[in-house]
């Protein structure tokens, strides 16, 4: 439903994240079935590309599973998401992704944010024939210029969100709909138009 409504409202390409659950990127057979079904439905309802990632238990790219999922995704372009930041050897992992045919890789340089991971990002760009690699993770209006100037990136990835208070007037403080450390029930994360415009302006000035 979200994909259908978004496609009606925007004219930019829409890539759909295929991730059946939170947590790690080591998937069971049933979860793989769900991922394949999600890919087929996303394609059916107008996705312009797909985004997924899968690892083996020892922190390497799961080439067998990625190959199978890529086959279901074709002919759409595919991005490997920030599961990349959890790999054992990022240089080897990037070579693997290139050989498999991924068009993009999302990464924060295997650190808590793209700013902290900038040295690895630069090393990846220098040592490996990088596909289109949008650096991402913790990117804000305050650090985007430093990240773009310190890397060879022509794209970046960020949430650009802010919190919006719920319109609910009656609120039950005794019940939480998620985990104990989840976001407050009466606060909603939404894309912030002002942040998006500011980030775009910074990027256009540098790129």
Evaluate whether residue 174 is within a structural domain.
no
Evaluate whether residue 73 is within a structural domain.
yes
Evaluate whether residue 4 is within a structural domain.
no
Q: Say which CATH number the domain at 30 has.
A: 3.20.20.380
Rounded to whole angstroms, the Cα distance separating 35 from 29 reads 10
Evaluate whether residue 131 is within a structural domain.
no
pLDDT class of 90 with cuts at 50, 70, 90:
very high
Rounded to whole angstroms, the Cα distance separating 48 from 103 reads 13
> Domains in the chain: how many in total?
1
Q: Say whether 206 sits in a helix, a strand or coil.
A: helix
Evaluate whether residue 192 is within a structural domain.
no
> What percent of the chain is modeled with pLDDT above 70?
93
Evaluate whether residue 31 is within a structural domain.
yes
In 147-204 the beta strands, taken as DSSP E runs, fall at 156-157, 161-165, 187-191
Owner of token pair 């290139």: 98
The DSSP output letter for 81 is -
Supply the mean pLDDT for the chain.
Answer: 90
Rounded to whole angstroms, the Cα distance separating 179 from 1 reads 25
pLDDT class of 197 with cuts at 50, 70, 90:
very high
Evaluate whether residue 117 is within a structural domain.
no
Q: Which domain holds residue 38?
A: 11-106
Rounded to whole angstroms, the Cα distance separating 87 from 171 reads 42
- pTM reported for the whole predicted model: 0.87
For residue 44, give Cα distances in angstroms to 10, 73, 181.
Answer: 18, 11, 36
In 46-180 the beta strands, taken as DSSP E runs, fall at 49-52, 78-80, 104-105, 135-136, 156-157, 161-165
If you average pLDDT over residues 188-197, what whole number do you get?
93
Evaluate whether residue 142 is within a structural domain.
no
pLDDT class of 48 with cuts at 50, 70, 90:
very high
Could you report the per-residue pLDDT of 142-154, keeping only the tens digit for each? 888 888 887 777 7
pLDDT class of 174 with cuts at 50, 70, 90:
confident
Inform me whether the pLDDT recorded for 16 exceeds 70.
yes
Whether the Cβ atoms of residue 53 and residue 87 lie closer than 8 Å to each other: no
């Amino acid at each position: 439903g979200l994909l259908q409504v978004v496609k009606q409202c925007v004219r930019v390409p829409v890539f759909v994240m295929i991730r059946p659950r939170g947590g790690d990127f080591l998937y069971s057979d049933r979860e793989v079935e769900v991922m394949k079904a999600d890919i087929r439905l996303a394609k059916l309802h107008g996705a312009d590309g797909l985004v997924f990632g899968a690892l083996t238990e020892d922190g390497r790219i799961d080439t067998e599973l990625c190959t199978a999922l890529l086959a279901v995704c074709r002919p759409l372009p595919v991005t490997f998401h920030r599961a990349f930041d959890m790999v054992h050897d990022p240089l080897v992992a990037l070579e693997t992704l290139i050989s498999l045919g991924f068009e993009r890789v999302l990464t924060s340089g295997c650190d808590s944010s793209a700013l902290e991971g900038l040295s690895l990002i630069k090393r990846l760009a220098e040592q490996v024939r990088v596909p289109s690699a949008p650096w991402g993770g913790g990117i804000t209006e305050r650090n985007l210029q430093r990240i773009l100037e310190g890397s060879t990136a022509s794209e970046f990835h960020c949430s650009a969100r802010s919190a919006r208070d719920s319109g609910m007037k009656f609120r039950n403080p005794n019940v939480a709909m998620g985990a104990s450390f989840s976001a407050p029930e009466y606060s909603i994360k939404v894309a912030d138009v002002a942040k998006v415009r500011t980030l775009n302006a910074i990027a256009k000035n540098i790129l």
